[in-house]
Amino acid sequence: MIFFSPKKKDTIVTASPIVIEDDHLAPLDAAAGERLQMLVFSATWCGPCTAMAPVIEDIARSYAGEVAVAKIDIERSPEIVKAFDVRAVPTLVLRRGAEIDRHVGALTRTRLALMLDAALESGSASA
Amino acid sequence: MTTPAMAALLAAVKMDPSTTLDEACDAALLCWMLDATRPWPEPAKAALESLLDAHRTGLGDPAAWRRLRRAAVALGDNGDPHVKALGQVAEAAAWPVAASTAALIELMRAICHLRAYRASLATGWTAEAHAEATATLNSIAQGEGTRVPERHEIPAMFEVRHPALAKRFVAQLDASNQAFSQFPAEVAAWIEGARR
């Protein structure tokens, strides 16, 4: 499924999380355009990460026009992990250029949506 | 046709993901799961009743769903652990089931945690006992000024140090684990019944 970004009409955005498989965030930056970015750091052996996966899929779909979601396996992207100082999984980082917010540990879809709403509202307030 | 939410749940309860179920099963199962969390203590009652109504009537208004989510979060922030666990159930149930992958699986997992908490409580385990056990286990794990033990050595050391508490700890843990794994089996039985 694809959507057009409401903020940048010429950007086509995917409703599925972007999977980062190396140490480069360029695919995310390119796909995100002006949207907020949510980086989801996880690991294949992490139970809470697996439990949260459907929540991340739903959130990526619901917020496709406003948020670009990237899934980052900590074992495949050690340099990104270091750059973001990730010490536990799952870790969720919200950024628009600079980091806006982060959460360590699993979250319900409701709490994740509240976190995104707050970040989006603060973004529009400062725009 | 089986929805993404049901397909995700089928995999989680170890049923054949290609099982075909009517879309109406999603809301029916969600209501059954929510109903299975009764009895509800007074502080949780209104929010959970509203959620049940919303799913039964197929509430469509996004603003009404946002209000339900705010009420669910307020429950989840409650200081009482039982209300808090019900709040996590409410948070999972506070979304329309259609076009969602997480709706059923997230609710089932929240109920597993609630059942585990209730089962632990039913053994007579208290917040005070939990705090005492945690402090003892942490102290053992840190080596108590001598050798830091291997992980597998800790349970036996706990039994020597505090036999009565260790026995109660193991009993509540067993009950909790059993309750946690029992609910998915009940969900699978419901689905099996709906297929017939």
Asked whether residue A8 carries a pLDDT value surpassing 50, the answer given is no
Q: Which of residues 98-117 of B touch A (CB under 8 A)?
A: 99-103, 105-106, 109-110
Residue A124 confidence (pLDDT): 65
Domain that holds residue B134: 4-195
- The CA radius of gyration of chain A, in Å to the nearest whole number, is 14
Segment among A3-7, B115-119, B153-157 with least mean pLDDT: A3-7
Segment among A4-18, A41-55, B58-72 with least mean pLDDT: A4-18
Residue from A14, A34, A43, A46 carrying the catalytic annotation: A46
Distance CA A17, CA A70 (A): 5
List pLDDT tens digits, range B158-169: 999 999 999 999
Helix (H) or strand (E) holding A98: strand A98-104
Sign of CA dihedral B50, B55, B58, B63: positive
Candidates A49, A108, A114: best to mutate against B (most CBs of B within 10 A) is A108
Q: Do A108 and B105 touch (CB under 8 A)?
A: no
* Complex confidence, ipTM: 0.81
Report, as an integer, the average pLDDT of B116-145: 93
Residue A9 confidence (pLDDT): 43
CATH architecture entry for A2-126 = 3-Layer(aba) Sandwich (3.40)
Chain B residues touching A58 at Cβ < 8 A? 95, 100-103
Residue A7 confidence (pLDDT): 46
Share the mean pLDDT of chain B. 93
| Number of domains into which chain B is organized | 1
User: Is A113 near chain B, with CB under 8 Å?
Assistant: yes
In sequence order, the 6+-apart residues with CB closer than 8 A to the CB of A30 are: none
Distance CA B135, CA A11 (A): 54
Q: How confident is the model at residue B125 (pLDDT cuts 50, 70, 90)?
A: very high
Report the 10 Å Cβ neighbour count for B103: 31
DSSP secondary structure code for residue A17 in this structure: P
Distance of residue B160 Cα from the nearest chain A Cα, in angstroms: 32
Distance of residue A32 Cα from the nearest chain B Cα, in angstroms: 23
Looking at chain B, the whole-number percentage of residues with pLDDT higher than 70 is 99
Report the 10 Å Cβ neighbour count for A9: 8
Q: Do A57 and B73 touch (CB under 8 A)?
A: no
Asked whether residue B43 carries a pLDDT value surpassing 90, the answer given is yes
Residue of A nearest to B68 (CA): A110
Asked whether residue B67 carries a pLDDT value surpassing 90, the answer given is yes
Share the mean pLDDT of chain A. 87
Asked whether residue B79 carries a pLDDT value surpassing 50, the answer given is yes
Residue A110 confidence (pLDDT): 94
Residue B1 confidence (pLDDT): 78
Q: Do A58 and B8 touch (CB under 8 A)?
A: no
Q: How confident is the model at residue A70 (pLDDT cuts 50, 70, 90)?
A: very high
Residue B99 confidence (pLDDT): 72
Q: How confident is the model at residue A3 (pLDDT cuts 50, 70, 90)?
A: very low
Residue A11 confidence (pLDDT): 52
